């Protein structure tokens, strides 16, 4: 399955619990098989860690967790608003002078190319 966001994209959470809804962050990881993304500083899970060696401390640690990709929306780098994305074929020229078609992501609000 294809995911609409990529690593290092800026996204906003559009649905979920009230504690994470509306938060913004950078995409750390994308898991296309599970249709999930991991966003920096948005969703956490508590992990209980037992001390394994003498001198090591145990405790409860916060760990970032993955969200469903449908719960996040891309923020356009040009207009700065949350937007849906489209795809457009753009003609590019290689170093040998050969023209190639390349699919690029496009903001549906302002029409700017994303990357």
Q: What is the per-residue pLDDT for 2?
A: 84
Q: How is the chain split into domains, by residue range?
A: 1-75, 83-115
Q: What is the mean pLDDT of residues 67-86?
A: 94
C-alpha angle 112-98-4 in degrees, rounded to nearest 5:
35
pLDDT at 8 over 90: yes
Q: Residue 1 pLDDT more than 80?
A: no
CATH fold for domain 1-75: SH3 type barrels. (2.30.30)
Nearest to 82 by CA among 1, 41, 17, 23: 23
The pLDDT of residue 82 is above 80: yes
Mean pLDDT of 84-108: 88
23-47 pLDDT per residue, tens: 999 999 999 999 999 999 999 999 9
């Amino acid at each position: 399955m294809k995911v609409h966001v990529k690593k290092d994209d800026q996204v906003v959470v559009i649905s979920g619990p009230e504690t994470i809804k509306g938060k913004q962050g950078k995409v750390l990881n994308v898991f296309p098989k599970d249709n999930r993304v991991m966003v920096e500083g948005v969703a956490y899970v508590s992990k209980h860690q037992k001390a394994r060696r003498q001198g090591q401390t145990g405790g409860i640690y916060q760990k970032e967790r993955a969200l469903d990709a449908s719960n996040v929306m891309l923020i356009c780098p040009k207009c700065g608003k949350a937007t849906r994305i489209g795809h457009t074929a753009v003609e590019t020229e290689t170093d040998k002078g050969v023209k190639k078609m390349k699919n690029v992501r496009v903001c549906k609000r302002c029409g700017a190319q994303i990357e």
